[in-house]
Amino acid sequence: MTQVLRDPREVIREEPLMHAPILAAVADGGKTIGEIAERLGHPTHEVVYWVMGMRRYGLLVESTEADDDGYFSYRAVGQGPAAVLEECEYE
């Protein structure tokens, strides 16, 4: 399979446009980058750029432990068990 790689600058420029689709992909629970890529229909290497950018800016957080295959899952901030703990700390 031959695939033409896009210029990384082009992929990075698309990050803000991918926030909503990625957040929708993880809305029902944490997903690995491969699972997010499959849902979006984009190559995994492009999704890595977008997920890492969203992680850097506090939109996504990774799981504390890897799955059996060694992959971490990502979820939206304020979603999942950690969100419950955060809410309890402020009450």
Q: What is the CATH number of the domain that holds 30?
A: 1.10.10.10
Give a yes or no: residue 1 inside a domain. no
Answer whether 74's CB lies under 8 Å from 25's CB. Answer: no
Residue 90, pLDDT score = 39
Give pTM, 2 decimals.
0.79
Phi, psi of 35, rounded to the nearest 5 degrees: -70, -40
Contact by Cβ (8 Å): 18, 39: no
Report the pLDDT value the prediction gives residue 53, as an integer from 0 to 100.
94
Q: Residue 83 is part of which domain span?
A: 8-90
Structure confidence at residue 86 (pLDDT): 47
CB atoms within 10 A of CB 49: 15
| Residue 3, domain member (yes or no) | no
Judged by phi (left if over 0) then psi (alpha if -120 to 50, else beta), residue 60 lies in: beta
- Residue-wise pLDDT for 1-23, tens only, equals 567 789 989 998 999 999 999 99
Q: What angle do CA 38, 40, 42 make, to 5 degrees?
A: 75
Counting the structural domains of the chain, the total is 1
User: What tens digit of pLDDT does each residue of 14-71 get?
Assistant: 999 999 999 999 999 899 999 999 999 999 999 999 999 999 999 999 998 999 999 9
pLDDT at 1: 52
Please check whether residue 72 lies inside any domain of the structure.
Answer: yes
